[in-house]
Amino acid sequence: MVDVSTTINALCSQSEIDRCLEMQRLLHDLRNGKGLLLPEQLAKRLNALDELDAVIGDLDPGALEALPEPELIAHAMALRLQFEAANEMVYQTTRSEIAALGNSPAMSRWLMELASDGNAERPRPGLSFDLLDEFVRGVLQFRRPGGITLLPSPEMTAYQPTPVRHILDLVAACNFSSDDVLVDLGSGLGHVPLLVSILTGIRTLGIEVQPSYVASAEGTARDLNNMSVRFTAEDARMTDLSSGTVFYMFTPFWGSILTDVLFQLRKQSKQRSIRIGSLGPCTRVLQGQTWLRATEGTETERIAVFKSL
């Protein structure tokens, strides 16, 4: 590999020089990338695309042109389009399987393969996203809500989807039965209800206060022909919770709203045993409830599951 640092030194900053050198290394690694176009190479393609995005970023075009092997750049850009097209074929095949069957064995296999912590007992903590999220977005093709939405209360949190690795952890921790109904309190665009329904076959319900988000989630469910998931635009303090056996919260609210919702959930627990899965700061509040018992650990950056006493 040619040292390009002296060639482009007059044109680029040191950081651009470093990124050009990294780009050159990556392009050489991808020179024989045709083998990555096979469907089963999804994980490697996603990693390669992730590396390309990290290296290229907002690199000045002049810096790219200064590389001594410009044909490598053209080759990599072409490969990038081919990788994306190959991924789209996998996504569409998986979507068709979901629409036809209501579930997807292929999706389950891909998720197992893409799990970066496949050998770990629990997924890594934190709220960052990874290749699992890229894959699920590609398959489910979530719709963005139309217009600007304002939260009706300062005690409600801005929307952020649950990272897929934590949804998979929720599924594993809850070990759902066919009689379970998952209720997602603050469901946003429907990531949790949709994915849990697809992976387990159970009925799920998403409760979201913002109608535009509910409309988007319902559109995604229709596109997938998913009849097991339902969404409703209601305040979690006032909605009917009687169908749920497992409730999930990614800290959608705090303060008096969380207190009121927990009061409603406690009332439900007097009728039947319920479980509550949580992620984020609300886990600490759940930990302090005398009518709940944690089934495992209660880290705020991992899924915690509580069972009613």
Backbone φ, ψ for residue 253 (5° rounding): -160, 170
Handedness of CA 168, 172, 174, 178 (dihedral sign): positive
| Phi, psi of 101, rounded to the nearest 5 degrees | -105, -20
What is the residue extent of each domain of the chain? 5-101, 154-308
Q: Is the pLDDT of residue 34 over 80?
A: no
- Write the DSSP string, 116-144: TTTTSSSPPPSS---HHHHHHHHHH-PPP
pLDDT in tens, 227-238: 999 999 999 999
- CA dist., res. 242 & res. 244, Å (int): 6
The SS3 of residue 262 is helix
Half-sphere exposure of 77 (CA within 13 A, CB side): 7
pLDDT at residue 4, as a whole number: 47
Give the percent of the chain with pLDDT over 70.
Answer: 82
pLDDT 10s digits, 223-262: 999 999 999 999 999 999 999 999 999 999 999 999 999 9
What percent of the chain shows pLDDT beyond 90?
A: 67
pLDDT, mean over the chain: 88
User: What distance in Å separates the CA atoms of residue 121 and residue 156, rounded to the nearest whole number?
Assistant: 32
Confidence band for 96, pLDDT divided at 50, 70 and 90: very high
CATH of 154-308, one of 3.60.70.12, 3.30.930.10, 3.40.50.150, 3.40.190.170: 3.40.50.150
Does the model's pTM come out above 0.85? yes
Query: What phi and psi, each to the nearest 5 degrees, are found at residue 6?
Result: -75, -30
pLDDT at 266: 98
Enumerate residues 6+ apart whose C-beta is below 8 A from 17. Answer: 4, 5, 8, 9, 63
